[in-house]
Amino acid sequence: MTAAGLAKAQNYSGATVTLFDVPVPVPGATDVLIRVRASSVNHLDELWHILSPSAVWDAAQAFWGLSGQFPKVLGMDVAGTVVAVGPKVKKLRIGDNVWAFNAAAAVYDGKSLGGLAGHTWATYVTMSENDAGIMPESINFTEAGVLPLVAQTSLHALTVAGAPWKNGSTVLILGGSGGTGHIAVQLAKAMGATTVLTTASGANGDFVRMLGADRLIDYHTEDWWNSSVVPDSSVDVVYDTVLQPETGDRAYKKLKHGGKYVTLCTTIPDCGAPMPSFWNKLQRPDISATALRCTAGSCASVEHLDYLSSLIGAGKLRGHVGATFPLREIQSAMASHVPGKVGLTIDGDDVIVV
């Protein structure tokens, strides 16, 4: 089996992602073996620099090496076909096309605790059947492969922010042309927002309006935190996917009474976008502020995948693949910056699974 992963490093800043061969994984009793057809590049795939300073990285790498946990097979999203099942699998069958965010492996992959390695940049991956959903029929593998992590993250974030909204809502999404943000624009509309504002480059104006944004704030020429751009106390929700300094305090000024602020800054790694200051929280106790990351259970689930699939089937949600690379060009894929997501196609010779 060919895989892409963290293959060697002199220190945490010199980590190298490359291709190497590993055995085809064997599914456990409640696992399925998936022939991977597509994946994507996510910020979570590139968080290795949290193991800093270099002494921390050196210790982690030494432990992984001694315990047979290195090199790491990276990748979090998967779209593919079930080719083998464990003896206690009940819901999925050989031949099912599935999609998933391998959140459980990011925490513990059977060998390494906190390994940040979902094993999906590979021709095969094993997962619990409880973590993989049936892929929507109306999209292809490449489209399905870019969605699971970002779509479930934004679904969770907007749910925390009060969605679905029965009486409408004004939502400000910071970073509406990015991987997580372009899904959030669509989900906000699908879940009852009456007005969606978003920040993006002016060059991506048509793109975000096509997604459903009612107003573009061009961050090259406008600062969303200025009252002349977005009036104070005028929005119900601020969803931050950009993670810039002072965002929390600036968001509090924009929010109405009872508003919600959600950020993807969880301080791992240090993202420079702190939560609102203690003083701001004290002055406005009516506003809630949440920092989240999509994890198994709270965010990543088959139920959420099925809900997203229903939106895709209804024409209310679509993942935008801004660029696609084959797995052998993983370095170029990681360096690419495009609207929407960067997709990975996983080619290779099939093997007979016994």
Instruction: State the Cα–Cα distance between residues 86 and 34, nearest whole angstrom.
Output: 12
Domain 2-147+319-345 listed as CATH 3.40.50.720: no
Tokens of 114: 């906190």
* Helical axes 148-160 vs 179-190, angle rounded to 10°: 50
Tell me how far apart the alpha carbons of residues 47 and 344 are, in angstroms, rounded to a whole number: 19
Please say whether the beta carbons of 183 and 321 come within 8 A: no
CATH number belonging to domain 150-291: 3.40.50.720
| DSSP character at residue 136 | P
Q: Both tokens of residue 48?
A: 């290795």
pLDDT of residue 106: 80
Tokens for 20, please give them.
């190497």
User: What is the per-residue pLDDT for 266?
Assistant: 81
> How far, in Å, CA of 77 to CA of 36, rounded?
10
Q: Which two tokens stand for residue 90?
A: 């009940």
In this predicted model, what pLDDT tens digit does every residue of 197-236 receive, in sequence order? 999 999 999 999 999 999 999 999 999 999 999 999 999 9
Report the alpha-carbon distance of residue 112 to residue 69 in Å, rounded. Answer: 6
Which residues of the chain register pLDDT less than 50? 11-13, 351-354
pLDDT of residue 93: 98
Would you list the domain boundaries of the chain? 2-147+319-345, 150-291
Tokens of 201: 């480059």
Tell me how far apart the alpha carbons of residues 309 and 298 are, in angstroms, rounded to a whole number: 18
- Cβ atoms of 89 and 137 within 8 Å: the answer is no
